[in-house]
Structure 1
Amino acid sequence: MTEQHYLGIDIGSITGKVAIINQDHQLIDRVYLRTEGQPIVCIKKALKEILDRQGALPIAGAATTGSGRKLIQTIVGADIARDEITAHAVAAIDYCPEVQTVIDIGGQDSKLILIRNQLVVDFAMNSICAAGTGSFLDKLGDQLGVTIDEFGSCAICSSKPASISGRCTVFAESDIITKKNYGYKKEDILMGLCYRLVENYKTNLGRGKKIKSPILFQGGVAKNQGIVKAFSEILAEELNGDQLIIPENHDVMGAIGAAILAQEEMELRQVQTKRFTSSFLGWEIPNIDYQTSSFQCDHCENLCEILEIIREGEVIGRWGGKCSRWDIK
């Protein structure tokens, strides 16, 4: 049987992740990049990296997830777009079929997913307050002159973690300045921040939720050793003697989940409609010129701002309207 390849893209506000798997869910290639405020450029660059390493792999199906999934679906011609909860849950179940809890912490949001018998039974998301996300660590690490890559290794050297007050980034930042002035060690403040983030996460997302082991920790923040240590201690009762599970490709699990969903979708289409050719636009995407523009619709009192995506002079997508007047048919 010819090897089939499926493409998954997870596009968020801070990072873009791309994964390619085969029909057996083996990871063929992956890319993790910061968007730097330009999600289209980010995904074009990611696809170019894979193209340079793998050549023009035939893609049997493509899917997008993340906050920018509809935009990137239009850009790459993905067959489907799915929400982050579904994508992360699918990847977690594929990695560990017995999983009951998924912790995902990204740059601007965090998620808690409860799974029983391989079905999502409950979830919670925090996309409003930064105090339970990676940007919390990124911003406050800057106050101490520590990059996000250095954060974890420095934090676990702490012998006496500082108590960081407040459930808000603003208050935590003020507390850091105070503790710096009092001469606290850098590693003690950093580890204190790790405990604060995990406590915020459990308070904001875990309240009233039945967290059970096995627990998977995924997302970019899972590489932070200080956060892993804090979760292992604060969730000790829930772990019940088990270890916190961190997948090898924890940072691209959303993209892997999207790729699995693409495979499921295309196999379902083949059975139901006999139509299984992917709408993926191909490996020329990195060379295609995409532009954005906007205008205000004055057709009614809503005065919607309509965003347009233009590919080589042709409008291929519009967003922002409260009605279907400007939708691309």
Structure 2
Amino acid sequence: MPLTYGKEKVKIAQISCGTEWSGIQPELDKAAELVNAEIFFPEASLEEIELGVEKLGFSPASHSLRVMLGQAIALENYRDVDGILLLTCFRCAEGSLTRTVLRKYLQSRFNLPIISYSFTERTKAENLLLRLEALSNIIRRRHLLEVKRQEGVSLGIDSGSSWTKAVLMEGGEVIGFSALPTTDTLDTALKVVEKAVNGAKTRFSVGSDPVGVTGYGRHLLSQKLRAKIAMDEITVCAKGATFLTKHFSGDTTVIDIGGNDNKAISIHDGIPYNFSVGGVCAGASGRFLEVTAARLGVSVSELGELALRGDPNNVRMNAYCIVFGIQDIVAALAAGARKEDVAAAACFSVAEQFFEQQLQEIEVRPPIIEVGGTSLNRGLVKAIEKVVHFQVKVPPYSQFAGAVGAAVLASNA
């Protein structure tokens, strides 16, 4: 389905290695076309490549990666650049180091939003669309993302992969909310909307009052519910998190460990400027915690409390793949490990992998705000605090941050 964006194309500089021979460049171009963006490659001379190695103090063995350093230097020669894409292969450790070096350098030189991403040869336009859509929204809708108030009465819906959530807001407060496991996208959304509206003592009419939608089902729901805005979950989640904590100025880091993918977002003065979206390895997702809870015979909410009483050091568990993670659980229980220790190890494993896969891609600056359903898992919150060495804030209605962000933005659109 074509997406609607501003008439003016946004210009995105692509600094990458391997997108051509891996076959994903056509997928990148397709995703860019869908969000009305133009991708270009900064051309680097031999002198600029050598200067990049010298200036950044890093000399990768791969010539293609050294070219990326030269492209970063060459970017100084370009004007009207709106955003930057940093891309290397998922299997390349040296590429990961190169992205980190370049991200830090580019952030020190340019006031531009940056996406840092490791791709596989199976990466499709659909995988890239969310990232480019978020980048486009940060560029095009900056004035909207700067809002600090929720006006009047508005409804926000977050149509996620695992859960669909809705909140009704008035005067900056949540006055009704509901959440259900996602089955049929439209049917589930209509049910949570009905419950959220019925739970509030105020008049609200879908079609007349502002509605904002986000999440995987946002495009369908936007049409069916005549939404005022339909935006990606990265920008909307960032807005919900900062609104719930009233942290509108300075630096913030928002994390959301979801059922299908994870988000890590660096924010300054309420505007995302650097973000990473995971999804390659399910062992670092909320889905792994669901599987762990089922294997231990407890609910997901009970898993976190169980983990608080356990010691993660008593169970070895660090598999990136959910399948191998389950094998670790089975082996530990068969060896007589306590459920509490297994739960703690599972939470710590997710936190550690999230740190390695997502937080390495962004600038982590306190305060750190955790949102999404897994933010209610106190064992996971504790594990993240141990890994990042910062206190993690969990605001009220943290599991509804996406819906709250959608409601706030819709009321100002």
TM band (smaller chain):
0.7 to 0.9
Helix, strand or coil for the counterpart of 1:100?
Answer: strand
Give 1:62 deviation, angstroms: 0.9
Change (3 A) 1:93 1:50: closer
- AA aligned to 1:104 is D
Residue 28 (1) aligns with residue 175 (2)? yes
Q: CA-to-partner distance for each residue in 1:106-153, whole Å, 9 max, x for gaps? A: 211110000122221100001332222211100122122122121111
- AA aligned to 2:402 is G
User: Which residue matches 1:312?
Assistant: none
Residue 9 (1) aligns with residue 161 (2)? no
User: Which residue matches 2:221?
Assistant: 72
Change (3 A) 1:158 1:40: same
Residue 258 (1) aligns with residue 410 (2)? no
Q: CA-to-partner distance for each residue in 1:262-316, whole Å, 9 max, x for gaps? A: 0121xxxxxxxxxxxxxxxxxxxxxxxxxxxxxxxxxxxxxxxxxxxxxxxxxxx
- AA aligned to 2:248 is P
Helix, strand or coil for the counterpart of 1:32?
Answer: strand
Give 1:206 deviation, angstroms: 1.2
Q: CA-to-partner distance for each residue in 1:85-104, whole Å, 9 max, x for gaps? A: 11011112223224510011
Change (3 A) 1:180 1:220: same
Helix, strand or coil for the counterpart of 2:400?
Answer: helix
CA distance in 1, matches of 2:361, 2:209: 42
Between the aligned residues of both structures, percent identity stands at 30
Give 1:208 deviation, angstroms: 4.1
User: Structure 1: 5+ residue runs without aligned partners?
Assistant: 266-329
The structure 2 residue matched to 1:169, chosen from 303, 319, 322, is 322
- AA aligned to 2:342 is I
8 Å CA contact retained: 1:129, 1:168: yes
- AA aligned to 1:57 is F
- AA aligned to 1:47 is V
The TM-score, its normalising length taken from structure 2, stands at 0.59
Structure with more relative contact order (C-alpha pairs < 8 Å, separation 6 or more): 1
Runs of 4+ in 1 over 6 A off after TM superposition: none
Residue 61 (1) aligns with residue 207 (2)? no
- AA aligned to 1:251 is Q
User: Which residue matches 1:235?
Assistant: 388
CA distance in 1, matches of 2:190, 2:361: 42
8 Å CA contact retained: 1:104, 1:112: yes
Instruction: Pick the structure with more helix per residue.
Output: 2
- AA aligned to 2:194 is K
What is the number of equivalent residue pairs in this alignment?
256
CA distance in 2, matches of 1:251, 1:166: 26
User: Which residue matches 2:166?
Assistant: 18
- AA aligned to 1:249 is Y
